[in-house]
Structure 1
Amino acid sequence: MKITYRNSFTGIVTILFVTMLFSCEGNLKGVRQMEMPEDAPQAIGQGINLKYTDSGRVVATLKSEKMKDYSNKNFPYREFPEGLMVEFYDEERKKNTVTANYGVIYNETGLIDLQGNVVVITSDSTELTADQLYWDQTNNWVFTDHPNTIKFKNGARNKGQGFDSNQEFTNFRSRSNVGVQILEEETP
C-alpha cells in the first residue's frame, strides 16, 4: 500500500480530533465558577418562607426577606442580610421564637450566628435579648460573650456580659451579671 500525502494528512487530523474529543471533561461546576465573581453567592432568594418537617410534623419555620447561599465556597454558609425570624415547635406544639437583624448559618459546623437586636422568646415566656447570639445546633447550646438581658417567666431578671445555656434555658450559666432572682422555698 502506498502512503500518500492525503492519507498522512487525514490520519493526523483524525488523531488530533480523537485526542481533543477525549481530553474534554464535562466539568460543569468548574465552568460555572469561572462565570461567577469570586465573592458572589451561588443563589439569592427573596421572600423566604421555609418549613422544616420531621415525620410530617412541622418542627420549625424560617422567614426572611433575603437569603444569600454561599454553598459554592470552601466553607459553605447561608447569609440573611436583612434579618430573619425562626419559630421552633416541640412535640406538644409549643412555640419558641427567634428574631435578629442579621444571621449566618454555617453548613458544616451547624453553628448559627445571629446579630443585631436578637430576641428569643420561649414557649414559657422567658425572653432573652442580646446584641449577638450563637446557637450550636449539634449540641443544642446557646451562648454569647456580648451584653444580654434575660427575663424569666417567674419575674426574675438577669443582665450580664455573656452566658452559656442549653436551648431550653434549664441549664443556664451567666458570667459577670446583675439581676433579681426569685427563689421559692420548699416546705417539708
Structure 2
Amino acid sequence: MSVTYHHILKSIVAILLVTMLFSCQNGLSEARKFDGDHPTPQTVGENVNLFYTDSGKVKANLRSPKMLDFTNQQFAYREFPNGVEVDFFNEKQEKTTIVADYGIVYSQTDLIDLRGNVKIVTSDTTVLNAEQLYWDQARSWLFSDKKYNIKMNNGALNDGEGFDANENFDKFISRSNVGVQYLDESKK
C-alpha cells in the first residue's frame, strides 16, 4: 500500500512541475512579445523649455509640457504628445510662432510632423491654421494634404485642402482653394 501511495505522490509532483514549467515558458514568451512591441523612450522631459542659440543670438525657443526622446531607436525621433510651441527668430530678431497639439521630429530626415490645431503666426502677421503640417527643415519647405486656411499680411484669404510653401509664405501653392486675393496692378 505504501508503494502505491509513494507512486501517486511522485506522479502528482511530476505533473505539477511540468505544469509550472510550461506556464512559465508561455509567460516568458508573452513578456518578450510585449516588450518588443512598445519602444521605450531613453528620456522623458516634463515642462520642457529649450533655447537654440547661434553666435550669442536666440534662434529658437521650444516649449512643451512633455517630450519623449526616442533617439535610441533605429529611426530616431522626439515626440511631443501633449503639444508644442516654438518661437523662431530671424536675423532681425523678428519672431514667428508655431503651435500644435502634437508634434514629432524625425532626426535623420529633418522632417517635423505637426498635428491638431496647427497655427503659424509669422513676424509679418501672416496666420496659417491647419489640421496637419509637415515641415522639411533641410529644404525650408512646408506642406500639407489636409484642410487649411491662411490670412496673408495684405489681407488675402485662402481656404483649401493641400498646399506647398516656403517658410516665408512668399511662394504658396494651393492644390484646391477658395479665397479672396488682392493684386497690385501697379507692379507690372
TM tier, smaller: 0.7 to 0.9
Q: Which sections of structure 1, spanning at least 5 residues, go unmatched? A: 1-33
Q: Distance in 2 between matches of 1:187 and 1:157?
A: 21
Give the match for residue 131 of structure 1.
131
Alignment-derived partner of residue 154 in structure 1: 154
1:31-85 CA-partner distances (Å, limit 9, x unpaired): xxx9xx4411111000100000111110000000000000111100000000000
What amino acid is the match of 1:146? K
Aligned to 1:89: 89
Taking structure 1 as reference, are residues 178 and 74 closer, same or farther at Cα in structure 2, changes over 3 Å only? same
Root mean square deviation of aligned Cα: 1.3
Output one character per residue of 1:11-40: Cα deviation in whole Å (capped at 9) or x when no partner. xxxxxxxxxxxxxxxxxxxxxxx9xx4411
The equivalent residue for 2:70 is 70
User: In the TM superposition, what are the counterparts of 1:1-188 in structure 2 within 5 Å?
Assistant: 37-38=35-36, 39-186=39-186
Runs of 5+ unmatched residues, structure 2 = 1-31
In structure 2, do the counterparts of structure 1 residues 187 and 171 end up closer, same or farther at CA, with 3 Å as the change threshold? closer
Tell me how far apart the structure 2 counterparts of residues 183 and 91 of structure 1 sit (CA, whole Å). 29
CA deviations on 1:135-170 (whole Å, 9 max, x unpaired) are 000000000000000001111100111000000101
TM (norm. structure 2) is: 0.79
Identify, as 1 or 2, the structure richer in helix.
Answer: 2
The Cα shift of 1:112 comes to: 0.2
CA-CA distance at 1:187 after TM superposition? 6.8
The one-letter code sitting in structure 2 at the alignment partner of 1:60 is A
Provide the rounded CA distance (Å) in 2 between the counterparts of 1:98 and 1:74: 28
